[in-house]
Structures are given as structure tokens and as C-alpha cells.
A and B are shown apart, each in its own frame.
Chain A
Amino acid sequence: AQSVSQHNHHVILSEAASLELGCNYSYGGTVNLFWYVQYPGQHLQLLLKYFSGDPLVKGIKGFEAEFIKSKFSFNLRKPSVQWSDTAEYFCAVLPYQLIWGAGTKLIIKP
């Protein structure tokens, strides 16, 4: 069965640290890839998405993600995090319907 694995359930960083959240999926065919973010008390919203083309995708608020097909990975990165990035981040993969990772709670210490 298809699955999405997010490596860390909780990540704690200090402001200005660099961030990388891992996401791996198990599906051999063509996929669309998403990162969603849920800020405290708010609804889930799209951070960035990959459908085709350049495997390095830039999203909102300085986030980017790189699709590495050979590794079945779509890791999320940000060079310097801010306290306002504290949120839960979800990776999702679309072979034919959305399959979600378990989420990573990111806490940024001011």
C-alpha cells in the first residue's frame, strides 16, 4: 500500500537555525507532491506543491522543497527559521488520491 513517511514527529529549533523536514513516499509511478502547514488555531493551508518541471520548488514564507525521484523524497527546507514558523507541517502525495504523512510539529524557540 502507498504510504508517506515523515521522519520526525517533533522538531525544536532556535530562531535563525536552518530547517529540513524529511518526507519519503512509497509509490513507483508519477506523483504530485505537497507540503501543507497548520499554524496554531488555523486551518491547513498549502505551503508549496510540485507537479512537474524543476524539482526545486519555492513556496510561501521562504520555504522550498526538493523532489528527488530516485530517493522517493520531497524534503522541506528553510535556511533561517523564525518564531512564526512554529506550526505542524504535513507532507502529502497524490498518485490518485491524497495520501498524508503523520505530520511534524515544529517549535521555534525565540
Chain B
Amino acid sequence: DVKVTQSSRYLVKRTGEKVFLECVQDMDHENMFWYRQDPGLGLRLIYFSYDVKMKEKGDIPEGYSVSREKKERFSLILESASTNQTSMYLCASSPLIGLEAEAFFGQGTRLTVV
């Protein structure tokens, strides 16, 4: 069974704090993704990575950065948290982009910025 693990289920941070969200997958997948999920907006892609140290901006990268130093780990960084970044953050991994690229998701991290 593919397992995608996010380090925290719930986080509360103050405005201006630097926030790290960690994600680890155990299936040697090349691709990893960070999404945010907001009511009525579905899933919006923040960043994705297709290999170690490789990253691509998604649809809403502003205010975020990512790090992928090891294949199994993909970190999302909020350099200076703001209240409009309060959301559910989902990490996913998949074996490849293209044919049959089924994504596997973590449980999500609900981040509240106060």
C-alpha cells in the first residue's frame, strides 16, 4: 500500500511566522505535489516536483516555496505566513506524469494562521 504521510494534521501559526509542512512517501515515486483545498475551489496546485531538487510552479505559487532534497520527502514552506494562507494543505505523490499517473494523497494538514 502506498503511504503518503504529512507531519501534522493541525497547525496554528501566527502571521509572519515561517511555516514548514513536511510530506514523506514510501513508494519511490518520482512526482510529488502540494495542493491547497478550499471550499468551492477544489484542489489548486501550489508546486510540484518531478525529481530530487527539481520543482515547478503550479497555479498559485505566490507566498510559498518548496524543497526536495531527497526523493521521498517534499516540503512546503510559507516564508511569512498570512491569514489568507489559512487552508487545508494536501500532499500527493505519483509514479510518473503522463499515462496512468494516479495520485496518492496524504491526510492533509489544516493550517490556521492567526
Contacts and interface: CB of A to CB of B under 8 A. Distances in A.
A90 B43 contact: yes
Nearest to B90: A44
* Interface size range of chain B in the complex: 20 to 34
A96 B41 contact: no
Interface residues of A, number: 22
B100 A51 contact: yes
B101 interface: yes
Contact of B42 (A46, A49, A96, A102): A102
A34 B102 contact: yes
Given A90-B42, A102-B42, A43 B102 contact: no
B102 A49 contact: yes
Interface of B: 4, 33, 35, 40-45, 48, 90, 92, 97-103, 105-108
